[in-house]
Amino acid sequence: MTTILFSAGESSGDQHAANLFLEIKKHQPDIIGIGMGGTKMAQAGIDIRYDSGSIGVIGVVEVLKHYGEIRRALNLMKAVIKTERPDLLVCVDYKEFNFKLAKFAKQQGIKVLFYVSPQVWAWRAGRVKAYGKVIDMMAVIFPFEVPYYEAENVPVRYVGHPSVDKVHPQISKAEAMARFKLDANKRVVGLLAGSRANEIKRLLPVMLAAAALLKAKFADCQFILPQADSISDELLTEYLIDSPVEVTVIKQQPYNVIQCCDAVMTSSGTATLEIALLTVPMVICYKLSPLTYWLGRLLVKTKFIGLPNIVAGQSIVQEFIQREATAENLAAEVERILTEQVYRETMLENLQDVKQRLGQGGGSKNMAVLALEMLAE
Protein backbone atom coordinates (compact mmCIF):
# COMPACT_ATOMS: atom_id res chain seq x y z
CA MET A 1 0.00 0.00 0.00
CA THR A 2 1.35 3.45 -0.96
CA THR A 3 1.84 5.82 1.98
CA ILE A 4 2.48 9.57 1.98
CA LEU A 5 3.81 11.25 5.13
CA PHE A 6 2.68 14.87 5.46
CA SER A 7 4.35 17.42 7.72
CA ALA A 8 2.47 20.67 8.39
CA GLY A 9 3.12 22.85 11.42
CA GLU A 10 0.68 25.72 11.01
CA SER A 11 -2.96 26.40 10.26
CA SER A 12 -2.41 27.33 6.57
CA GLY A 13 -0.18 24.29 6.00
CA ASP A 14 -2.82 22.05 7.60
CA GLN A 15 -5.35 23.33 5.05
CA HIS A 16 -2.96 22.99 2.08
CA ALA A 17 -2.04 19.40 3.03
CA ALA A 18 -5.72 18.48 3.46
CA ASN A 19 -6.64 19.87 0.02
CA LEU A 20 -3.68 18.09 -1.58
CA PHE A 21 -4.54 14.73 -0.02
CA LEU A 22 -8.18 14.98 -1.15
CA GLU A 23 -6.99 15.66 -4.73
CA ILE A 24 -4.56 12.71 -4.62
CA LYS A 25 -7.35 10.43 -3.37
CA LYS A 26 -9.40 11.28 -6.48
CA HIS A 27 -6.66 9.69 -8.60
CA GLN A 28 -5.60 6.95 -6.21
CA PRO A 29 -8.37 6.18 -3.66
CA ASP A 30 -6.42 3.48 -1.80
CA ILE A 31 -3.49 5.74 -0.94
CA ILE A 32 -2.72 6.19 2.79
CA GLY A 33 -1.93 9.55 4.39
CA ILE A 34 -0.22 9.90 7.78
CA GLY A 35 1.57 12.77 9.46
CA MET A 36 1.75 15.88 11.58
CA GLY A 37 -1.02 18.43 11.24
CA GLY A 38 -4.36 19.63 12.53
CA THR A 39 -8.11 19.29 12.19
CA LYS A 40 -8.31 19.92 8.42
CA MET A 41 -5.87 17.09 7.67
CA ALA A 42 -7.73 14.77 10.03
CA GLN A 43 -11.04 15.61 8.34
CA ALA A 44 -9.46 14.83 4.95
CA GLY A 45 -8.64 11.31 6.18
CA ILE A 46 -4.98 11.72 7.12
CA ASP A 47 -3.97 9.71 10.20
CA ILE A 48 -2.57 12.39 12.52
CA ARG A 49 0.45 11.12 14.45
CA TYR A 50 1.22 14.50 16.02
CA ASP A 51 -1.22 17.41 16.49
CA SER A 52 0.71 20.52 15.44
CA GLY A 53 -1.63 22.96 17.23
CA SER A 54 0.87 23.61 20.03
CA ILE A 55 3.91 24.31 17.83
CA GLY A 56 2.54 26.76 15.24
CA VAL A 57 4.65 29.69 16.48
CA ILE A 58 6.72 32.33 14.70
CA GLY A 59 9.75 34.30 15.85
CA VAL A 60 13.03 33.45 17.59
CA VAL A 61 11.81 34.02 21.15
CA GLU A 62 8.54 32.13 20.58
CA VAL A 63 10.35 29.16 19.02
CA LEU A 64 12.79 29.04 21.94
CA LYS A 65 9.87 28.96 24.39
CA HIS A 66 8.35 25.98 22.55
CA TYR A 67 11.68 24.34 21.75
CA GLY A 68 11.08 21.21 23.84
CA GLU A 69 7.72 20.53 22.22
CA ILE A 70 9.06 21.22 18.70
CA ARG A 71 11.97 18.86 19.38
CA ARG A 72 9.57 16.12 20.55
CA ALA A 73 7.51 16.55 17.37
CA LEU A 74 10.62 16.30 15.18
CA ASN A 75 11.83 13.15 16.95
CA LEU A 76 8.40 11.55 16.62
CA MET A 77 8.25 12.32 12.88
CA LYS A 78 11.77 10.94 12.39
CA ALA A 79 10.68 7.74 14.16
CA VAL A 80 7.68 7.46 11.81
CA ILE A 81 10.02 7.77 8.81
CA LYS A 82 12.37 5.13 10.18
CA THR A 83 9.75 2.57 11.24
CA GLU A 84 7.00 3.05 8.63
CA ARG A 85 9.11 3.90 5.57
CA PRO A 86 6.61 6.12 3.69
CA ASP A 87 6.88 6.25 -0.10
CA LEU A 88 6.97 10.05 -0.12
CA LEU A 89 7.42 12.84 2.42
CA VAL A 90 5.47 16.00 1.64
CA CYS A 91 6.73 18.94 3.71
CA VAL A 92 4.25 21.81 3.75
CA ASP A 93 5.77 25.16 4.69
CA TYR A 94 6.99 25.31 8.37
CA LYS A 95 10.49 25.84 6.96
CA GLU A 96 13.11 25.23 9.66
CA PHE A 97 11.37 22.17 11.13
CA ASN A 98 10.67 20.66 7.72
CA PHE A 99 14.21 21.31 6.50
CA LYS A 100 15.52 19.12 9.34
CA LEU A 101 12.87 16.47 8.66
CA ALA A 102 13.60 16.51 4.91
CA LYS A 103 17.32 16.08 5.58
CA PHE A 104 16.62 13.04 7.76
CA ALA A 105 14.22 11.55 5.19
CA LYS A 106 16.80 11.89 2.40
CA GLN A 107 19.37 10.11 4.58
CA GLN A 108 16.84 7.30 4.96
CA GLY A 109 16.32 7.10 1.19
CA ILE A 110 12.81 8.62 1.24
CA LYS A 111 11.71 10.95 -1.58
CA VAL A 112 10.96 14.51 -0.46
CA LEU A 113 8.53 16.99 -2.02
CA PHE A 114 8.64 20.45 -0.43
CA TYR A 115 5.48 22.53 -0.87
CA VAL A 116 5.69 26.33 -0.38
CA SER A 117 9.21 27.66 -0.75
CA PRO A 118 11.01 29.52 2.02
CA GLN A 119 11.03 33.22 1.15
CA VAL A 120 14.45 33.13 -0.49
CA TRP A 121 13.58 36.32 -2.38
CA ALA A 122 13.30 38.12 0.97
CA TRP A 123 16.19 36.74 2.98
CA ARG A 124 19.00 34.15 2.92
CA ALA A 125 18.93 33.39 -0.81
CA GLY A 126 21.80 30.98 -0.09
CA ARG A 127 19.22 28.58 1.38
CA VAL A 128 18.32 27.51 -2.17
CA LYS A 129 21.51 25.38 -2.34
CA ALA A 130 20.91 23.97 1.14
CA TYR A 131 17.34 22.95 0.28
CA GLY A 132 18.54 21.47 -3.00
CA LYS A 133 20.59 18.93 -1.03
CA VAL A 134 17.67 17.67 1.10
CA ILE A 135 14.72 17.61 -1.33
CA ASP A 136 13.81 15.96 -4.63
CA MET A 137 11.43 18.72 -5.76
CA MET A 138 10.47 22.22 -4.64
CA ALA A 139 6.87 23.19 -5.46
CA VAL A 140 6.59 26.99 -5.47
CA ILE A 141 3.39 29.05 -5.25
CA PHE A 142 4.61 32.31 -6.83
CA PRO A 143 5.91 32.40 -10.43
CA PHE A 144 8.76 34.78 -9.49
CA GLU A 145 10.27 32.09 -7.20
CA VAL A 146 11.18 29.67 -10.03
CA PRO A 147 14.39 31.42 -11.26
CA TYR A 148 15.98 31.27 -7.78
CA TYR A 149 15.94 27.45 -7.91
CA GLU A 150 16.70 27.10 -11.62
CA ALA A 151 19.85 29.21 -11.11
CA GLU A 152 21.15 26.54 -8.70
CA ASN A 153 19.86 23.56 -10.73
CA VAL A 154 17.41 22.59 -7.98
CA PRO A 155 14.32 20.74 -9.34
CA VAL A 156 11.41 23.20 -9.13
CA ARG A 157 7.85 23.50 -10.39
CA TYR A 158 5.40 26.38 -10.17
CA VAL A 159 2.07 24.87 -9.09
CA GLY A 160 0.02 28.00 -8.47
CA HIS A 161 -1.11 29.58 -5.22
CA PRO A 162 -3.51 27.33 -3.27
CA SER A 163 -5.53 30.31 -2.06
CA VAL A 164 -6.76 31.10 -5.59
CA ASP A 165 -8.92 27.96 -5.56
CA LYS A 166 -10.21 28.06 -2.03
CA VAL A 167 -10.93 31.75 -1.51
CA HIS A 168 -14.59 31.86 -2.52
CA PRO A 169 -17.54 32.79 -0.32
CA GLN A 170 -20.14 30.00 -0.03
CA ILE A 171 -23.07 32.42 0.03
CA SER A 172 -23.82 35.87 -1.37
CA LYS A 173 -22.87 39.04 0.51
CA ALA A 174 -26.56 39.80 1.20
CA GLU A 175 -27.09 36.30 2.64
CA ALA A 176 -23.94 36.59 4.75
CA MET A 177 -24.97 40.00 6.12
CA ALA A 178 -28.34 38.54 7.14
CA ARG A 179 -26.79 35.38 8.61
CA PHE A 180 -24.33 37.38 10.73
CA LYS A 181 -27.06 39.87 11.79
CA LEU A 182 -25.20 42.81 10.25
CA ASP A 183 -27.04 45.97 9.22
CA ALA A 184 -26.67 46.41 5.44
CA ASN A 185 -26.95 50.20 5.86
CA LYS A 186 -23.95 50.41 8.19
CA ARG A 187 -20.21 50.10 7.62
CA VAL A 188 -18.53 46.77 8.42
CA VAL A 189 -14.90 46.55 9.58
CA GLY A 190 -13.15 43.16 9.87
CA LEU A 191 -10.60 42.27 12.55
CA LEU A 192 -8.20 39.53 11.44
CA ALA A 193 -5.63 39.33 14.22
CA GLY A 194 -4.05 36.06 13.06
CA SER A 195 -4.19 32.29 13.40
CA ARG A 196 -1.51 31.95 16.10
CA ALA A 197 -2.02 32.56 19.81
CA ASN A 198 0.93 34.96 20.04
CA GLU A 199 -0.51 37.04 17.15
CA ILE A 200 -3.85 37.35 18.94
CA LYS A 201 -2.08 38.43 22.14
CA ARG A 202 -0.06 41.11 20.39
CA LEU A 203 -2.49 42.40 17.77
CA LEU A 204 -6.08 41.94 18.95
CA PRO A 205 -5.84 44.51 21.80
CA VAL A 206 -4.48 47.08 19.31
CA MET A 207 -7.25 46.30 16.81
CA LEU A 208 -9.94 46.57 19.50
CA ALA A 209 -8.54 49.94 20.59
CA ALA A 210 -8.59 51.06 16.92
CA ALA A 211 -12.19 49.83 16.65
CA ALA A 212 -13.10 52.00 19.66
CA LEU A 213 -11.59 55.06 17.96
CA LEU A 214 -13.52 54.30 14.77
CA LYS A 215 -16.78 53.77 16.69
CA ALA A 216 -16.34 57.17 18.34
CA LYS A 217 -16.05 58.74 14.89
CA PHE A 218 -18.55 56.61 12.98
CA ALA A 219 -21.54 55.57 15.06
CA ASP A 220 -22.64 53.28 12.21
CA CYS A 221 -19.51 51.06 12.37
CA GLN A 222 -19.97 47.31 12.95
CA PHE A 223 -17.08 44.97 13.75
CA ILE A 224 -16.70 41.32 12.81
CA LEU A 225 -13.98 38.77 13.53
CA PRO A 226 -13.57 35.44 11.68
CA GLN A 227 -12.14 33.01 14.26
CA ALA A 228 -9.34 30.75 12.98
CA ASP A 229 -9.67 27.02 13.77
CA SER A 230 -6.35 27.21 15.62
CA ILE A 231 -7.60 29.89 18.06
CA SER A 232 -9.54 28.79 21.15
CA ASP A 233 -12.74 30.43 22.38
CA GLU A 234 -11.03 30.99 25.74
CA LEU A 235 -8.21 33.03 24.21
CA LEU A 236 -10.58 35.29 22.29
CA THR A 237 -12.91 35.72 25.28
CA GLU A 238 -9.93 36.91 27.33
CA TYR A 239 -9.73 40.00 25.11
CA LEU A 240 -13.31 40.43 23.94
CA ILE A 241 -14.88 40.30 27.42
CA ASP A 242 -13.53 43.81 28.18
CA SER A 243 -13.79 45.10 24.61
CA PRO A 244 -14.95 48.73 24.35
CA VAL A 245 -16.91 47.79 21.19
CA GLU A 246 -19.21 44.93 20.31
CA VAL A 247 -17.54 42.38 18.00
CA THR A 248 -19.38 39.63 16.14
CA VAL A 249 -17.27 36.44 16.17
CA ILE A 250 -17.87 33.93 13.37
CA LYS A 251 -16.32 30.46 13.18
CA GLN A 252 -15.27 28.55 10.05
CA GLN A 253 -16.57 31.05 7.49
CA PRO A 254 -13.64 33.42 6.82
CA TYR A 255 -14.54 34.22 3.20
CA ASN A 256 -18.22 34.77 3.95
CA VAL A 257 -17.08 37.21 6.64
CA ILE A 258 -14.43 39.07 4.61
CA GLN A 259 -16.79 39.74 1.69
CA CYS A 260 -19.10 41.64 4.11
CA CYS A 261 -16.34 44.08 5.07
CA ASP A 262 -15.86 47.61 3.80
CA ALA A 263 -12.33 47.52 5.27
CA VAL A 264 -10.20 45.01 7.15
CA MET A 265 -7.46 45.33 9.76
CA THR A 266 -5.29 42.24 9.30
CA SER A 267 -2.11 40.66 10.59
CA SER A 268 0.56 39.93 8.00
CA GLY A 269 0.46 36.47 6.41
CA THR A 270 -1.62 34.37 4.04
CA ALA A 271 -4.78 36.20 5.16
CA THR A 272 -3.58 39.36 3.37
CA LEU A 273 -3.52 37.48 0.08
CA GLU A 274 -6.96 36.00 0.74
CA ILE A 275 -8.36 39.48 1.41
CA ALA A 276 -6.70 40.67 -1.82
CA LEU A 277 -8.32 37.80 -3.76
CA LEU A 278 -11.70 38.95 -2.42
CA THR A 279 -10.71 42.54 -3.38
CA VAL A 280 -11.48 44.07 0.01
CA PRO A 281 -9.45 47.14 1.10
CA MET A 282 -7.17 46.50 4.08
CA VAL A 283 -4.46 47.75 6.39
CA ILE A 284 -1.72 45.33 7.49
CA CYS A 285 -0.09 45.31 10.91
CA TYR A 286 2.39 43.08 12.70
CA LYS A 287 4.27 42.86 15.99
CA LEU A 288 7.09 40.50 16.93
CA SER A 289 9.20 40.18 20.06
CA PRO A 290 11.90 42.92 20.02
CA LEU A 291 14.69 40.34 19.51
CA THR A 292 12.94 38.62 16.59
CA TYR A 293 12.22 41.98 14.97
CA TRP A 294 15.81 43.15 15.40
CA LEU A 295 17.15 39.96 13.82
CA GLY A 296 14.59 40.26 11.03
CA ARG A 297 15.72 43.79 10.24
CA LEU A 298 19.28 42.48 9.83
CA LEU A 299 18.31 39.55 7.61
CA VAL A 300 15.26 40.50 5.56
CA LYS A 301 15.97 42.20 2.23
CA THR A 302 12.44 42.82 0.97
CA LYS A 303 10.91 46.29 1.33
CA PHE A 304 7.50 44.91 2.30
CA ILE A 305 6.07 42.26 4.61
CA GLY A 306 2.55 42.20 3.14
CA LEU A 307 2.10 39.62 0.38
CA PRO A 308 -0.14 41.91 -1.75
CA ASN A 309 2.67 44.51 -1.78
CA ILE A 310 5.30 41.85 -2.54
CA VAL A 311 3.26 40.40 -5.42
CA ALA A 312 2.49 43.90 -6.76
CA GLY A 313 6.13 44.97 -6.41
CA GLN A 314 5.00 48.24 -4.84
CA SER A 315 3.17 49.58 -1.80
CA ILE A 316 -0.55 49.24 -2.52
CA VAL A 317 -1.64 48.57 1.08
CA GLN A 318 -0.37 50.37 4.21
CA GLU A 319 1.82 48.32 6.58
CA PHE A 320 2.31 49.21 10.26
CA ILE A 321 5.04 47.18 11.97
CA GLN A 322 6.18 47.06 15.61
CA ARG A 323 5.92 50.53 17.19
CA GLU A 324 3.95 51.85 14.22
CA ALA A 325 1.27 49.20 14.82
CA THR A 326 -0.82 51.52 17.00
CA ALA A 327 -4.57 51.91 17.41
CA GLU A 328 -4.28 55.49 16.13
CA ASN A 329 -2.49 54.47 12.90
CA LEU A 330 -4.86 51.60 12.18
CA ALA A 331 -7.95 53.70 12.84
CA ALA A 332 -6.66 56.58 10.68
CA GLU A 333 -5.97 54.23 7.75
CA VAL A 334 -9.37 52.52 8.01
CA GLU A 335 -11.01 55.97 8.17
CA ARG A 336 -9.18 56.93 4.98
CA ILE A 337 -10.35 53.74 3.24
CA LEU A 338 -13.93 54.40 4.33
CA THR A 339 -14.10 58.10 3.47
CA GLU A 340 -11.70 58.86 0.57
CA GLN A 341 -13.33 57.48 -2.55
CA VAL A 342 -10.38 57.90 -4.95
CA TYR A 343 -7.96 56.33 -2.43
CA ARG A 344 -10.32 53.39 -1.94
CA GLU A 345 -10.85 52.85 -5.69
CA THR A 346 -7.10 52.96 -6.39
CA MET A 347 -6.51 50.30 -3.72
CA LEU A 348 -9.29 48.14 -5.19
CA GLU A 349 -7.77 48.41 -8.70
CA ASN A 350 -4.35 47.41 -7.34
CA LEU A 351 -5.82 44.44 -5.44
CA GLN A 352 -7.54 43.36 -8.65
CA ASP A 353 -4.12 43.45 -10.35
CA VAL A 354 -2.66 41.21 -7.59
CA LYS A 355 -5.52 38.78 -8.18
CA GLN A 356 -4.67 38.70 -11.91
CA ARG A 357 -0.97 38.08 -11.19
CA LEU A 358 -1.78 35.04 -9.06
CA GLY A 359 -3.29 33.31 -12.10
CA GLN A 360 -6.10 30.83 -12.54
CA GLY A 361 -5.37 28.53 -9.60
CA GLY A 362 -5.40 24.74 -9.71
CA GLY A 363 -2.67 24.63 -7.03
CA SER A 364 -3.92 21.51 -5.22
CA LYS A 365 -4.61 19.67 -8.50
CA ASN A 366 -1.16 20.56 -9.86
CA MET A 367 0.42 19.45 -6.58
CA ALA A 368 -1.49 16.14 -6.70
CA VAL A 369 -0.21 15.49 -10.24
CA LEU A 370 3.34 16.28 -9.12
CA ALA A 371 3.12 14.03 -6.03
CA LEU A 372 1.75 11.13 -8.11
CA GLU A 373 4.50 11.63 -10.70
CA MET A 374 7.10 11.36 -7.95
CA LEU A 375 5.46 8.21 -6.56
CA ALA A 376 5.42 6.65 -10.04
CA GLU A 377 9.12 7.32 -10.72
Compute the radius of gyration of the chain from its Cα atoms: 21
- At 43 the pLDDT is 97
In CATH, the architecture of 3-160+362-376 is 3-Layer(aba) Sandwich (3.40)
Determine which of 34-43, 64-73, 144-153, 302-311 has the lowest per-residue pLDDT on average. Answer: 64-73
Q: Which has more confidence, 80 or 65?
A: 80
CB atoms within 10 A of CB 184: 10
* Residue 254 pLDDT greater than 60, yes or no: yes
pTM, full prediction: 0.76
- Which of 195, 351, 324, 200 has its CA nearest to residue 261? 351
In this prediction, residues 194-207 reach a mean pLDDT of 92
What span, in angstroms and rounded, lies between the C-alpha atoms of 217 and 213?
7
Would you state the pLDDT for residue 19?
92
Q: Are 88 and 227 in contact (CB under 8 A)?
A: no
Does 359 score more than 90 pLDDT?
A: no
In the chain, residues under CATH classification 3.40.50.2000 are: 3-160+362-376, 173-357
In the predicted model, what is the mean pLDDT of residues 295-311? Answer: 73
Q: What percentage of the chain reaches a pLDDT higher than 70?
A: 92
Mean pLDDT, rounded, for 117-136:
80
* pLDDT reported for residue 305: 82
Nearest CA-CA partner of 150 in 135, 133, 126, 128? 128
Confidence at residue 295, expressed as pLDDT on a 0 to 100 scale: 56
Cβ-based neighbour number of residue 209 at 10 Å: 18
Position 299 pLDDT exceeds 60: no
What whole-number distance in Å separates Cα of residue 10 and Cα of residue 95?
Answer: 11
Q: In the predicted model, is pLDDT for residue 216 greater than 70? A: yes
* The residue count for the chain: 377
Which 8-state DSSP code applies to residue 46?
A: -
Percent of the chain with pLDDT over 90: 72
Please report the pLDDT score of residue 65 as a whole number: 65
pLDDT at 58 over 70: no
SS3 of 81, please?
helix
Mean pLDDT of 115-134: 80
Task: Give the residue among 130, 164, 208 at the shortest CA–CA distance from 307.
Answer: 164
How would residue 177 be classed by pLDDT, with cut points 50, 70 and 90? Answer: very high
Phi, psi of 99 (to 5 degrees): -65, -45
**Mean pLDDT in the chain?**
91
Among candidate residues 128, 123, 126, 124, the one with its CA nearest the CA of residue 140: 128
173-357 fold: Rossmann fold (3.40.50)
pLDDT at residue 100, rounded to an integer: 96
Model confidence at 346, in pLDDT bands (50, 70, 90)? Answer: very high
Give the least confident one: 47-61, 80-94, 171-185, 192-206: 47-61
Is pLDDT of 373 > 70?
Answer: yes
> Quick check: 107 pLDDT over 70?
yes
